Amino acid sequence: MKTPRLPIAIQQAVMQSLRDKLALANQKLGRSYPEPKVVYQQRGTAAGTAWLADYEIRLNPVLLLENQQAFVEEVVPHELAHLLVWKHFGRVAPHGKEWKWMMESVLGVPARRTHQFKLESLRRNTFPYHCRCQQHQLTVRRHNRVLRGEAVYRCVRCGEPLIADATN
């Protein structure tokens, strides 16, 4: 899938959100953390990732185009919080108490671990799996890891392992 071109207005909104939240964090923490690099190269179903060693935020351009306001209000602060926690506390649990504190007390954003964006536009080659409470769609990469015995994926709701549907 070709990466879509992002209108400059969307990129500006992302950067404005990043700069506003970073200024707020620097003021509340009494620090002057630098502005991280932002790239639009995140693939798959993840909305974004924070690359600690590179001090970089990677955003999914497809999901950004489809969910602009939520990205600006939630995803950008979420990934920024990961970088700030790493700078402030060192290496800790990715969504642990330090991250929750950074999200809620410092950045003023609800601490949600995962997004709820519709993923239909991303799901081209997926494989149906199920647990005891719901259906799941695994990407080709995850499906192949299951087939090779390299991974077992669990439902975040019920904790049960995901089982491939009989059609696989």
Strand order in the sheet with 48-51: 37-39, 56-59, 48-51
The residues near 8 (Cβ < 8 Å, ≥ 6 apart) are: none
The residues near 95 (Cβ < 8 Å, ≥ 6 apart) are: 111, 113
Does 79 qualify as catalytic in the annotation? yes
Is residue 51 helix, strand or coil? Answer: strand
Of 35, 73, 74, 79, which one is the catalytic site residue?
Answer: 79
Please state, in angstroms and rounded to a whole number, the distance separating the CA atoms of residues 136 and 163: 9
Is residue 54 helix, strand or coil? Answer: coil
- Catalytic sites, residue numbers: 79
